[in-house]
Structure 1
Amino acid sequence: MKSAASRPALLRTALIAAACATPLLAFGGLVHTAAAQPLSGPAADYPMVLGAPFAVDGVTYTPADTLNYDAVGYAVPDSAGEGGISGSHRTLPLPCYVEVTALDSGRTILVRLERRGPMQGDGLVALSPGALAQLGLTGAHAPVRVRRVNPPEVERALLRTGQHAPQRMDTPPGLLTALKRKLGILPPADPRPEVLAAALAGTAPTAQPPVPTAPRPVGTASAPQARPVTTRNTTPMPAPRPPLPSPVASPPKVAAPPKPAASAPVPPKPAVAKPAPAAKPEPKPAPKPEAKPAAASTGGGYAVQVGAFSTRANAEKAAREVGGTVLPAGKFFRVRIGAASQDQAKAALGKAKRAGYADAQIQRAP
């Protein structure tokens, strides 16, 4: 049994041990709390995850870290996306950042890819409701372009916190036309006129009967047709020879009169008129070579076809940029620049190409 004198010493020892243990417990709690908090800031984008290959509708997809990824396809709603500007992709690393462009309007936004998908259908990318709203898409299957980018940390931080990054510059109509042709929703470049007209009107082209070769009137827009070569004999015909004069019977001899007496004067012999020679026919002039008809001179006006747009707003915007006019063509709106001469048409074509309309071309005005 311990004495009463030793009890204060034991109490002091217990208090010191408790005081030393309290900071350790507190530090352990801080460490556990910090480990439970999710990463934020730039560290939230690393490490990027690829994952194992997987199959969707019988097609196997292998994730890969493709830095220059640039593809066209269709955007679908992302059922897993709740808020913010996010999306799903099948092969790009997670997370990563892409620019998504709506091919119907040219509007482009920045999207953070955070999930794998879409897990059914032929969609290229699945977008959250916020991304669809910022891109101006309402349908469930819209043509888009997806291009991987490396945005600055300021824009990354906005998307990580569910906010919108600044909207990109609209894609010019010329590039949109090329992207639509790549996706297969527009015919190839420089098609036949009837195919292009049918594509703009949204109908199938009808078979046209062959046009016979014939001279075209002055001022037509098409190139002159090849004419069959006709060989003409341009050697002048020789003039006909004049007929030989017919022989003329000599006049009968007249008996000499008796010689008069020496005193009488001798009368002169009568002059016998000689027949005039037959008149020679005048030679006919040689026929001149037949003059070939002069080639028809080219006339008429010109027009520069800038592009065709699915919305009037985009067409009017393009018309203001190049100084052209908007012409409805079925479901599309064409932008054209009129020109009175070929030089003016070439100048208007250069202006359209400098404005970003690479598919602009010169046409003859109807």
Structure 2
Amino acid sequence: MKRTGLLAASLVSGAACAQSGVTLYGVADVGVEYVNHVRSANGSNSVVRMQPGNQSGSRFGIRVVEDLGANWRAIARLENGTNLDTGTLANGTGSTQRLFGRSAYVGIESPYGAVTLGRQDAPIYDFAKTYDLLGVSARYSITSMDPVFAQRIDNSAKYFGQFGGLTVETSYSTGWDAGYGGEVPGAPRAGRQIGGQLGYTSGNSGVAVVYDQTQGSTVASQDWANKNLAVGATTAFGAARFVAGYRWNRSQYGGANGATMLASTQRTDMYWLQGSYNFTSAFSLTGGAFYTNNRDNAQDPWLFIALADYALSKRTDLYLTAAYARNRGGSALAVGSGNTVQPGQNQTGVLLGMRHKF
């Protein structure tokens, strides 16, 4: 099933919404997963469980557009994330539970681009929406290798412009995750984020480069940075589409809140290849291979993912996805978000689910 319409809707650009109005929309996505070698108190075991938000995070959103004249518009978006298995809020971090954790921003759109303020997708996330054919999904996708590709940023100002085939995007945050700190008086670098993307598309092909940098979120860690640079290329031939990508990473801090200094700076390189084929308007197959080269040790895992998607209608689809993580040198890569694995053990996951968009 084609995902471009759903993914494009999350970008700040709203050129298709030229008239004033309020749009209510949502996604409901849930499935059942089997995973082996899950880390537990007595070693590792298999588990069967319900998993929410697999191919698309379940959500309810409000999109607002006001026509100001002369092709200028005021825009706003409030988008809630929901765990469909329990009805609880998604997208919380640290002690912060967010009512509108997926998006909460307001801005101005013009022929020169859009400027928005609030909580929104980082440029590296927007990059992944094109250069991960698995849809940057929460379960088995590029985010299994590195969650930075699904990064949202609090307290941010963002510019997004499209000029013919050229895409230009920048972001700056004074505190990239309110759940972990930032915006500390006397510590202007604490929790800071900067990012940008430059892309070009022509016909069925496209290339892009994106940069993302986050600083440690405390006074003590504000000078430590996590830096990512990624490039991607995509092309299509008939019903087939292919993607290739590379990500360079340099990390000085660890822990989700960026408050722990690593014993030494870590360097990793990540590579991925993907392909998809639409057999009919309703049925598609997508596959991908990912590899991480850790420059500091031999922990170099592989991840293989396959996805079959069948559309029951324009708004409802069934999916079956499987992933295999091959760990090497004591690495502990799990197949997807919410999973863990014992160091050095391989892991297999299979997930069957349903998604409805409204």
TM-score (norm 2): 0.22
**Structure ranking higher in strand proportion:** 2
**Structure ranking higher in helix proportion:** 1
TM-score (norm 1): 0.22
Max Rg structure: 1
